[in-house]
Amino acid sequence: MAEDVVSDSLAAAKRLVVLEVRDETGSPDWRNQLIALGIANLVATELYNTGHYAPIEEKPEILRELNDLQALSWLNKGADIVVNDIPRAEPPKLTEGETVKASAEASSSEASGQSSDTDKRNGQLKDTSQECTQGERPVSLFERFGCDAVARVVVKNFKQRRVRSIGFISGGSTTVGLNVEVSVEERDGGFYRGVGRGEGTTTAMAAMFEIRENRISFDETTVGQATQKAVREAVVNLCKVDK
């Protein structure tokens, strides 16, 4: 009986890919692309845990392409990737903890070779699968990746502060904090966004990520734990909107 409930839940869940992870911290400590891949996995896991979303079938070629897109966006080389044949409208700015649901604006492009303002931006990672000859239907990223929802992540407002204590035994603590914004755009036009804040304190001199064997463990560092908290809170806020 329990297995049937789980099966029905997965069948109702929308297939999701994490397309972009952007670094807006301004800190050189965040530049490693492995951080982006780790955050993408965190977000995918938290969204899966809501019961609303499920990962797509993990084909190696699709995963490689998604990892490339995540890494490029982390280096700010892939701005405003087009989801449908029309670039999505920019949603309103949110403050921490707020969520928004909006219908993604959609209208049909004339197959006349006209390019959108988004396509003309420098540094844009363009969806080449949408280029077609007259009479052909453009292919959306939803079709390209076989998904029902696309997630984007932004990491920003990172702060690190070291406080020294003076006494018989000198010491101190390091406090880190950051915001994570998670947005999900769905094939049917739904748009959801949530912002979360994560903080942590350690007595160690360094609080940043540690890379071992080309992997980052978010459980073992203060900044990693703060990132997990921020992602979890962002997804909780995103899901406060009725679906």
| Average pLDDT across the chain, whole number | 75
What is the distance, to the nearest Å, from the Cα of residue 107 to the centroid of all Cα atoms in its chain? 25
pLDDT digits (tens, 9 = 90+) for 76-133: 865 455 444 434 434 445 554 444 443 333 333 333 344 333 333 333 344 444 444 4
Confidence check: pLDDT of 216 > 80? yes
Q: What are the Cα distances from residue 89, in Å, to 19, 81, 86, 102, 209?
A: 17, 12, 9, 10, 34
Q: What is the mean pLDDT of residues 143-168?
A: 85
Give the Cα separation of 103 and 50 in Å (integer).
21
Q: Across residues 157-179, what is the average pLDDT? A: 76
138/130 Cα distance (integer angstroms):
5
Question: In terms of C-beta density within 10 A (0-12 exposed, 13-18 middle, 19 or more buried), how is residue 110 classed?
Answer: exposed
More confident residue, 213 or 136: 213
226: left (phi over 0), alpha (psi -120 to 50) or beta: alpha
Whole-angstrom distance, CA of residue 110 vs CA of residue 227? 43
Higher-confidence residue of 105 and 11: namely: 11
Q: Which residues contact 45 (CB under 8 A, 6 or more apart)?
A: none
DSSP H/E element including 211: strand 211-212
55-74 mean pLDDT:
88
- The answer to whether the CB of 102 falls within 8 A of the CB of 94 is no
Using DSSP's 3-state secondary structure scheme, residue 167 falls into: coil
Task: Please report which confidence band the pLDDT of residue 41 belongs to, taking 50, 70 and 90 as the band edges.
Answer: very high
Above 50 in pLDDT, residue 27? yes
Q: Say what percent of the chain tops pLDDT 90.
A: 44
Of residues 221 and 119, more confidently modeled: 221
The secondary structure of residue 76, as a DSSP letter, is: T
Closest by CA to 210, choosing from 13, 25, 17, 38, is 38
